[in-house]
Structure 1
Amino acid sequence: MLDATRESAAERVYREVKDQILTNEIAGGELISEGDVASRCAVSRTPVREAFLRLESEGWMRLYPKRGALVVPITDREARDVVEARLLLEGHAVGSVVADEAAREALARALTANLAAHAAADPGDVAEFSRIDAEFHQLIVAAGDNPLLADFFTGLGERHRRMTTASVHRDTTVATRILADHRSLLSAIRHGDAESFATGLAEHLAGVHDLRSGVRR
């Protein structure tokens, strides 16, 4: 029973700290201590240590004995690699959908509903705003009807979410741009224009994530 309680505490700390990293409440480059997290989560240091080890194994932080845990920042290389993977996956999905009128119309309806929810969301609630943003792109990849690619895209979801929240925190106008760009991407899908979609997506991701030299397509 004691082991189960400890494991439950470690899992809770892991989820809470990871969510704070993904939503930029704990920014990349910030050093946090076991003691501070233990106090905040009302647990002993043991489950915090276990949670930190798990987060380190996943690449979210680096541990420094007697100093604390450094939250690993998003590097330019990581951002570029995530964006390039997304361009390939989303572009492939739209290329598969545009020739199928029924599939294209179904995707357009789903994206229209997503945009309505996004427009109604409070940009100040960065976690919810980034969740709906990620859902928009997940709907596109899922429409490609390739479960292997969809699963791979889902694996990028946490990095995508973290990058988006960092961008919205960095520049409050990014939220407005995301909505405008999503409307343009939806229009390209409605018109069955895969080429315009690919060009618009590249510009969208480079702009939102501040990739000044653009991305390879």
Structure 2
Amino acid sequence: MSTDASATGRAYSAILNGILGGQYAPGTMLSEAALAAQIGVSRTPVRMALTRLQDEGWITVYPKRGALVQGLSERAIADLADARLMLESTSVLRASAETRRTLATRLEAEILVQRETMARRDLRAFIESTIVFHRSFVEASQNTVMLELNDRLADRQRFLLFSSGDRLLARCEAIIHEHEELVRALRDGDATRFSETLRRHLGNTFGTTLRELCPVPGFAV
């Protein structure tokens, strides 16, 4: 990798992580010169990184003014929640009974991690644990394309959770309770209950109303 490509990659990662982590909130105007100084690179790789971030929809570049950090519209949030509902429900439905039981045991341990992070009010760790928790449902399908789609949505999910801030912290106990309900439905093999619990959980977390899925058949045994 060339030095220029390496510097551009470093600038891209630093700016994106700042957006996802809430350091650069929606509405913030980013200065090319200030970013270059903070990251420790020249302005050229920063400019190239900003172009890429604009292509991905994270910012809008205004020549000679800077780059404005964008949020997610209500429609984008609703679409993201719906996509997660379909990916996770379908993946769990296609998993074998043995895979679901093994997954339920693993996720029970992950919920303990979530309780620990909540107790110390570590929002970043709680969010990362939540993302791992939901990714596990998609992993259960053993479908690499569905997992790839899931991972492409992860940054939007992370951004939305971080931007929730205090509201997310206030809902941590409810989120964990809903996670426990999901694991129980998973272990019991109740596809309809799992799908409905997931729909309600995502709607509560993302602050939106999700469309009803088609009737869900029972899990394969």
Q: Structure 2 length as normaliser, TM-score? A: 0.88
Question: Relative to 1, partners in 2 of residues 1:31 and 1:170: Cα closer, same or farther, differing over 3 Å?
Answer: farther
Give a deviation string over 1:21-43, Cα, whole Å, max 9, x none: 11222112211111221221122
The letter for the 2-side match of 1:196 is: R
* Alignment match, 2:88: 90
For structure 1, the 5+ residue unaligned runs are none
Question: Relative to 1, partners in 2 of residues 1:8 and 1:145: Cα closer, same or farther, differing over 3 Å?
Answer: closer
Moved over 4 A (4+): none
* Alignment match, 2:211: 216
Question: Which shows bigger deviation, 61-70 or 153-162?
Answer: 153-162
Aligned counterparts of 2:196 and 2:66: Cα–Cα separation in 1: 43
Matched, 1:194 2:191: yes
* Alignment match, 1:77: 75
Q: Determine if contact 1:104/1:189 at 8 Å carries over to the other structure.
A: yes
Q: Determine if contact 2:181/2:197 at 8 Å carries over to the other structure.
A: yes
Shift of the alpha carbon at 1:186? 0.8
User: 3-state SS of the aligned residue for 1:121?
Assistant: helix
* Alignment match, 1:177: 174
User: 3-state SS of the aligned residue for 2:169?
Assistant: coil
Aligned counterparts of 1:132 and 1:50: Cα–Cα separation in 2: 32
Aligned counterparts of 1:195 and 1:24: Cα–Cα separation in 2: 36
The letter for the 1-side match of 2:116 is: A
Question: Which shows bigger deviation, 201-210 or 113-122?
Answer: 113-122
* Alignment match, 2:112: 116
Matched, 1:146 2:143: yes
User: 3-state SS of the aligned residue for 1:205?
Assistant: helix
Q: Structure 1 length as normaliser, TM-score? A: 0.90
Question: Relative to 1, partners in 2 of residues 1:15 and 1:35: Cα closer, same or farther, differing over 3 Å?
Answer: same
For structure 2, the 5+ residue unaligned runs are 213-221
How many residues are paired up? 211
Identity value in percent = 34
The letter for the 2-side match of 1:105 is: R
Aligned counterparts of 2:15 and 2:6: Cα–Cα separation in 1: 14
The root-mean-square deviation of aligned C-alpha atoms, in Å, is: 1.8
